[in-house]
Structure 1
C-alpha cells in the first residue's frame, strides 16, 4: 500500500487551492435607551428591641488575689473598687464573649438588669470587670466577703439568669436594619 500511495502522490501532487473569503458587510445599529421598571423590595428601618435578654450563669466574687489578679481592687476598665463596698455597690464582671471588645453586645460602663438570682442580688448593675477567658455566658456579681459569711444565699452559682440591657436616658435610640 505504501508503494501505491507513493505513486499517487508522485503522479498527482496535492495542490493548494485558494478560495477568496467573503467578508460580511459592516452593520451598525444604534438603539435608544429605554426605561426598564425594576421592583426592589423596601424593608422598613427597625429599632433595636429594648427587651433583648441573654440567659447566663451567675456567681459572686469579692476582691481577693485568689479570685482576681495581682491587684484585686482595680477592675478591667480601670475603676477602683471602694474599700467599704457591699452588694449594694452593684458592679458586675462579665465573660469575654459578652463584651463588645470580643464581639459581644455589652460595653464597659453600661447598665444591665439582672433577674433570677435572689431578691437581694437582683437589680441594675454596671459592667466594670471581665472574667477569666475560660468562662462563657457568665456574670460575676461583686459582693463583700463579710456579707457572704453572714447571709446565706449570697455565695453560690445560679443558672438561667436573665441579663437585659438597661435603657439609659442619655443614650439615644439608634435605628438599625437587619441584613
Structure 2
C-alpha cells in the first residue's frame, strides 16, 4: 500500500551550535558602505530587529564550503524570547570569525550581547503547492 503524505514523518534538518552577536548598520561595525549587505541587499535607515536579517561567518556559507547560502531562512534558538526566531541571511562576516552569526538590529535599539551555544538550522522551504481560490 503506498504511503500517504500524512503518514510520512517530518524531515529534520541538521542544527549547528554557534556564537551569536548583534550589529548595527554603521561604518564602524561593518565597512565603508554599511547600508549594503554582502548579497547587495539595501538596509533601510530605519531598520530594526523585527526585520530579522543576519550575517553568517564565511565558514558556514556555501561559497566557502558551508551548508548555507544568501537568502536562506534560518531558525535561531538560545538567545532570548526577543531575538529567537527566523532570520534571512543577507550578509557575511570578517574571515577571522568561525561558527558565528551576527543579527542585524537598529542603531537606537540598545541591544548588545554575545551568546554561546546558540542553535541554528535551515528552515526547509515548503514543497506543498500554494492554492488560491478562483
Same fold (TM over 0.5): yes
Q: Distance in 1 between matches of 2:13 and 2:80?
A: 21
* TM-score using structure 1 length: 0.64
Residue of structure 1 equivalent to 2:64: 102
Partner of 2:102 in structure 1? Answer: 140
Deviation at 1:51, TM superposition (A): 2.6
Structure 2 distance, partners of 1:64, 1:50, is 37
**C-alpha displacement of 1:170:** 5.0
Could you tell me which runs of 5 or more consecutive residues in structure 2 were left unpaired when the two chains were aligned: 1-10, 129-134
8 Å CA contact retained: 1:50, 1:165: no
- The size of the alignment, in residue pairs, is 119
**Residue deviations 1:53-85 (CA, integer Å, cap 9, x gap):** 000000000011111011000000000001211
Runs of 4+ aligned residues of structure 1 deviating over 3 Å after TM superposition are none
The answer to whether 1:125 aligns with 2:87 is yes
Q: Does 1:67 align with 2:67?
A: no
Structure having the larger proportion of residues in helix: 1
1:156 aligns with 2:113: yes
Output the CA distance in 1 between the equivalents of 2:14 and 2:125. Answer: 14
**1:137-170 per-position Cα deviation (integer Å, ceiling 9, x unaligned):** 000000012111xxxxx21100000001111125
Larger proportion of strand: 2
- 2:61 and 2:77 map into 1 onto residues whose CA distance is 19
Tell me which structure has the larger Cα radius of gyration.
1
